[in-house]
Amino acid sequence: MNNQKRFNNIETQNFAPKQTPKNKSNTNYAFKWTSIAFLVCVVLFGLMYLAVNADSIGLPGVSRFIRKSPMAPAFMPFSGKQNILILGVDSNGSETDPFKGTRTDTILLVSIDKFGKSVNAVSIPRDSKVYIADGHGLDKINAAHAYGGHDVAIKTIQRTFGVNINHYLIINFAGVKDFVKALGGVPVNVEKRMHYTDRAGGLYINLSPGYQVLDAKQAEGYLRFRHDAIGDIGRMRRQQWFVRGVVEKLKSPDVIAKIPAIIQAMSKNVRTDMNVYELAGLAAFSKQIDMDNIQTSTLPGKPSNHGYVSYWILEPQKVQTIIDRLIYREEPQPLSAEPLTVTLLYSK
């Protein structure tokens, strides 16, 4: 009976949920952090806008500060600009790995502006005397890859020239012939008569001047030839002209059928941090480039001998002017009456 009464009493009780006062402190806390997150987003998007459009809205100083700050790598993809380091290596023997412990025969810094549809390229002389990153001391810049692969090479170039490198592409020089063969030849305007024979090295060069499509063997001779008055500097200019020819070839419609052979040649002879999607994007972008708007330069300096070692001593002011103009795309500030060694790649 008592249990029945207790049950009846429970049934008559009001089980409606109690109305608890709102926790004002929690509401204020959430509002505070939502506001902070919103402000951070506004600032970040504002910085991105400035990084991309500061020049066009009349704030070149702001643009220069952002591009040369540690924030630059994060904002460069939004601006459509990328810096790609191209390194050419050669094996020390038939049984060695060309991508390990080798010096770089070619160092080319390529700046791409997808919105501006332009490409600039700066050749860095391989004998340039610089401080190698990670405590390796003074040496030729081409030794950086031998000391620590692409990582040390990138650090050395970034610290020496104050640039940000987004991607790297390392090419085994022996594989250039495979790549040219896959492309079906590369168009180049050979600037002069080239004749040289190295039986020990298996190198036979016999090229006549004029616009022509070089096959794999001819391309190797063109890129290796260095027996002229300006020595290695002339060879670097030919490398720049060869890159122009590759870009021109990639724009031709018949390249589509050759893509499988090109991919096979690259997979054997190229190392890069770019994925297939990024490489395909570069190939697609190459078709939009105005071939008469590709600017190139070789970093200026003068030869110097230190004991038995020959170095290329860079001229800091002129080097900085070229970096500002071709990599950062700033208007040049004249330093002297001497013209800059910035060239416009000639067409056929």
> At 165, is the pLDDT very low, low, confident or very high (cuts 50, 70, 90)?
very high
Share of the chain above pLDDT 90, in %: 31
Per DSSP, what are the bridge partners of residue 297?
Answer: 122, 342
Domain of 39?
25-79
Which of residues 56, 79, 102 is at a domain's end? 79
Residue 197 forms part of a structural domain: no
Q: Is residue 280 in a domain?
A: yes
Whether 73 and 98 share a structural domain = no
CA nearest 323: which of 165, 115, 168? Answer: 165
Count each helix (H run) and each strand (E run) in the chain, helices first: 11, 15
Distance from C-alpha of 104 to C-alpha of 15, rounded to nearest angstrom: 82
Are 265 and 285 contained in the same domain?
yes
The whole-angstrom separation of Cα 309 and Cα 331 is 37
Please determine, for residue 73, whether its predicted confidence score (pLDDT) is greater than 60: no
Domain contains 241: no
Q: Is position 20 within any domain?
A: no
Q: Is residue 215 part of a domain?
A: no
51 & 140 share domain: no
Identify the domain boundary among 37, 59, 79. Answer: 79
Query: Do 183 and 262 form a contact (C-beta atoms < 8 A)?
Result: yes
CATH of the domain at 142: 3.30.420.590
DSSP symbol at 330? P
Q: Which of 252, 287, 87 is nearest to 169 (CA)?
A: 87
Looking at residue 281, its amino acid is G
Judgement on whether residues 132 and 91 belong to the same structural domain of the protein: yes
Q: Are 260 and 324 within one domain?
A: yes
Considering the domain boundaries, does residue 325 fall inside one? yes
pLDDT at 74: 53
Instruction: Decide which of 178 and 23 is more confident.
Output: 178
**Does residue 92 share a domain with residue 58?**
no
HEC profile of 51-84 = HHHCCCCCCHHHHHHHHCCCCHHHHHHHHCEEEE
Q: How many domains does the chain have?
A: 2
CA 252/CA 249 separation, integer angstroms: 6
In the three-class reduction of DSSP (H, G, I as helix; E, B as strand; rest coil), residue 172 is classed as strand
**Arithmetic mean of pLDDT, 47-66:** 54
Q: What contacts 285, CB < 8 A, 6 or more positions away? A: 112, 114
Beta-strand pair 167-172/81-89: parallel
Position 124 in a domain: yes
Using one digit for the tens of pLDDT, what is the confidence trace for 282-319? 877 877 777 777 888 999 999 887 777 889 999 999 99
Whole-angstrom distance, CA of residue 241 vs CA of residue 96: 30
The CA distance from 6 to 10, in Å, is 6
Whole-model pTM?
A: 0.71
What is the average per-residue pLDDT within 170-184? 87
Residue 239 has pLDDT above 70, yes or no: yes
Q: Are residues 144 and 166 in the same domain?
A: yes
- 261 or 63, greater pLDDT: 261
pLDDT confidence of residue 287: 75
Q: Are residues 147 and 286 in the same domain?
A: yes
